[in-house]
Amino acid sequence: MRLNDVWNVYLKNNGVDFVRFIDISSLTGNVAGEYACAVLFGKILTKGYLQAIRDGRKPERQEFGIAEHAMDALADKFSEKLASEGYKSVSRIRSPLLPHKTIARLAGIGFIGKNTLLISNEYGGAVVLGKVLTNAPFLSEPPQPMEPQCGECNVCAEICPAKALLGKQWSITTSRNEMLVRKLCNPCMKCMVYCPYTVRYMDS
Domain ranges of the chain: 3-203
Confidence of residue 120 (pLDDT cuts 50, 70, 90): very high
Residue 108 contacts by C-beta under 8 Å, 6 or more apart in sequence?
Answer: 144, 145, 146
* CA–CA separation, 92 and 107 (whole Å): 19
Confidence of residue 94 (pLDDT cuts 50, 70, 90): low
Q: Mean of the pLDDT values across residues 148-174?
A: 96
How confident is the model at residue 188, as a pLDDT?
94
How confident is the model at residue 44, as a pLDDT?
98
Confidence of residue 32 (pLDDT cuts 50, 70, 90): low
Q: What region, left, alpha or beta, does residue 170 occupy, with left being phi > 0 and alpha being psi -120 to 50 degrees?
A: beta
Confidence of residue 125 (pLDDT cuts 50, 70, 90): very high
* CA–CA separation, 125 and 197 (whole Å): 7
Residue 182 contacts by C-beta under 8 Å, 6 or more apart in sequence?
Answer: 164, 176
How confident is the model at residue 26, as a pLDDT?
81
* CA–CA separation, 183 and 180 (whole Å): 9
10 Å Cβ neighbour count for 183?
7
- Report pTM: 0.92
